[in-house]
């Protein structure tokens, strides 16, 4: 039989319309297997040649779904890009194996709906088909529709913006591929939540999800924490202790702040990612583990590699796929939704009734720069809940323009009688007042940044961000 063979399969008649499924698979044996397992349920058109598939797509009405097999000796990008350009609404499911995972990131970026890993069964493929057909039959929600997915008793994945909806879809897709995942984002953006969501959407969801903060554990203890140790491995090792990788077998380990991992441990982690083996501290016997690694960092990894503080080979092993979470200031439309969520979460935690959000408070929340991102927002909402009044919160967020806003508003009106650039000028007034307030607190603490952050009730990293943002220093502090 020719490798360029293409032929339709006419399915048996049924009382309900059959979905039109196109399948491109150069391996004729696999093609025949798919015909035999799926042909009784769907109306199939099978192709082993790309050109024949493209001719079918050009000449006939759009099918319900395309199954596209990836093979190591064929670059799928030209074909997939062409299909995306000519049939942007066609649902595509990829059949793949680990050998082709170098193409996975681009495949996902091009909007593939699902990935079925080889070796697969007919039921695996049928499940992917049915999920996509079912979602197509439902009314597609608006791009900014609210979605809240409970992950455990205390955490949920919450989103309402188009950008986060796309991130959610990518995470759900990568989850099934069971490859290493690297999550990038500023501090407080929700990297752990996204890691937990990915775990929940994966085949490992019934097994353990375990977090290790590489920056919080002292370097000399991190190795034994991750890989365990044998009795007598060091002073105080009175009995053998398994490490996090052993405990997490079958599940997902989340390595937060991976950029802070010491160089000696980076080599050992690389070995785990390469062949799934490691040795306990004090042991020469290698152990085999089946663990999915999700790593996260807020540092610039390319700078870290250039400075030789992070191994380049480890980065590329971790980077089976990268998800980048945008900071809160770049998705301000979600602030009201997230505020409501944190209010409900805090009210349950502290046994209080949720408080309402006035338009005055919502405006202050929307205009704040949020250097601490979601973590800072949750802390602000909790303070509002505990204090029970919004005045201090509004003054904290925008001290220059809300409760002392009469004079400020008059000054802006005089400068701009036609209202041109009003929002920008108000923002500048707020920034000047904020920089002055921060500088005064820093001077009062003798420039003890930790003490100043505590007095300002913001995180230490948030204060450092503000100092850099306003170019503050003991000799250049903007204080009046």
How confident is the model over 365-395, as pLDDT tens digits?
Answer: 999 999 999 999 999 999 999 888 888 899 8
Per-residue model confidence (pLDDT) at position 139? 47
Per-residue model confidence (pLDDT) at position 115? 83
Give the range among 168-177, 384-393, 400-409, 444-453 with minimum mean pLDDT: 400-409
pLDDT digits (tens, 9 = 90+) for 191-237: 999 999 999 988 899 999 999 999 888 887 898 999 999 988 888 88
Give the range among 273-287, 295-309, 394-408 with minimum mean pLDDT: 394-408
Average pLDDT, the chain: 82
Domain ranges within the chain, ordered by starting residue:
6-137, 149-324, 328-397, 415-480
Expressed in percent and rounded to 5, the helix, strand and coil fractions of the chain are 50, 15, 40
Separation CA 397–CA 407 (nearest Å): 18
Topology classification of domain 149-324: Rossmann fold (3.40.50)
Q: What are the CA-CA distances from residue 407 to residues 71, 185, 348, 429, 435 (Å)?
A: 68, 39, 40, 11, 19
Per-residue model confidence (pLDDT) at position 11? 39
The CATH code of domain 6-137 reads 3.40.50.2300
Separation CA 412–CA 425 (nearest Å): 7
More confident site: 143 or 327: 327
Separation CA 379–CA 14 (nearest Å): 58
Do the beta carbons of residue 380 and residue 386 sit within 8 Å? no
* Alpha helices (runs of H) in 17-142, residue ranges in sequence order: 28-38, 50-59, 77-86, 104-109, 122-137
Those residues with Cβ within 8 angstroms of residue 454's Cβ, 6 or more apart along the chain or in another chain:
none
- Decide whether 6-137 matches 328-397 in CATH topology: no
Do the beta carbons of residue 229 and residue 266 sit within 8 Å? no
How many CA atoms are closer than 13 Å to the CA of 241, on its beta-carbon side? 18
Per-residue model confidence (pLDDT) at position 296? 97
In the DSSP assignment, the letter for residue 240 is -
Q: What is the pTM of this model?
A: 0.64
The token duo for 33 is: 């297997």
The stretch 413-439 carries a mean pLDDT of 57
The stretch 306-328 carries a mean pLDDT of 92
The domain 328-397 is placed in CATH, from the list 1.10.10.60, 1.10.10.10, 3.40.50.1000, 1.10.8.60, at 1.10.8.60
């Amino acid at each position: 039989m020719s490798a360029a063979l293409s032929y339709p399969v006419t399915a048996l008649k049924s009382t309900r319309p059959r979905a039109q499924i196109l399948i491109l698979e150069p391996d004729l044996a696999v093609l025949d297997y798919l015909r035999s397992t799926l042909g009784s349920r769907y109306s199939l058109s099978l192709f082993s040649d790309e050109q024949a598939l493209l001719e079918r797509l050009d000449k006939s009405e759009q099918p319900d779904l395309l199954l596209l097999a990836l093979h190591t000796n064929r670059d799928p990008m030209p074909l997939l890009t062409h299909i995306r350009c000519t049939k942007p609404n066609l649902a595509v499911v990829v059949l793949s194996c680990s050998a082709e995972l170098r193409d996975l990131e681009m495949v996902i970026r091009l909007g593939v709906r699902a990935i079925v890993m080889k070796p697969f069964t007919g039921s695996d493929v049928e499940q992917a088909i049915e999920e996509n057909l079912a979602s197509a039959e439902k009314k597609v929600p608006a791009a900014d529709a609210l979605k809240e997915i409970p992950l455990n008793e205390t955490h949920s994945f919450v989103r309402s913006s188009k950008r986060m909806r796309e991130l959610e879809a990518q995470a759900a897709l990568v989850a099934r591929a069971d490859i290493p995942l690297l999550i990038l984002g500023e501090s407080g953006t929700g990297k752990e939540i996204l890691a937990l969501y990915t775990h929940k959407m994966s085949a490992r969801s019934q097994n353990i999800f375990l977090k290790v903060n590489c920056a919080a554990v002292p370097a000399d203890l991190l190795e034994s924490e991750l890989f365990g140790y044998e009795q007598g491995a060091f002073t105080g090792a009175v009995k053998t202790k398994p490490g996090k990788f052993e405990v997490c077998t079958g599940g997902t380990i989340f390595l937060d702040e991976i950029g802070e991992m010491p160089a000696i441990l980076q080599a050992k982690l690389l070995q785990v990612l390469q062949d799934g083996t490691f040795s306990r501290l004090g042991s020469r016997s290698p152990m085999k583990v089946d663990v999915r690694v999700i790593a996260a960092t807020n540092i610039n990894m390319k700078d870290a590699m250039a400075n030789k503080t992070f191994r380049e080979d480890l980065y590329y092993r971790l980077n089976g796929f990268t998800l980048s979470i945008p900071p809160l200031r770049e998705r301000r439309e979600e602030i009201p939704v997230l505020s409501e969520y944190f209010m409900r979460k805090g009210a349950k935690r502290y046994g209080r009734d949720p408080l309402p959000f006035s338009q005055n408070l919502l405006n202050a929340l929307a205009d704040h720069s949020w250097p601490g991102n979601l973590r800072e927002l949750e802390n602000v909402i909790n303070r509002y809940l505990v204090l029970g009044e919004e005045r201090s919160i509004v003054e904290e967020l925008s001290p220059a323009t809300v409760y002392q806003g009469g004079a400020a508003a008059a000054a802006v009106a005089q400068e701009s009688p036609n209202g041109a650039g009003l929002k920008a000028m108000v923002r500048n007034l707020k920034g000047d007042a904020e920089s002055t307030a921060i500088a005064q607190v820093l001077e009062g603490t003798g420039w003890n940044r930790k003490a100043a952050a505590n007095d300002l009730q913001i995180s230490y990293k948030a204060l450092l961000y503000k100092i850099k943002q306003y170019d503050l220093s003991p000799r250049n502090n903007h204080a009046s």
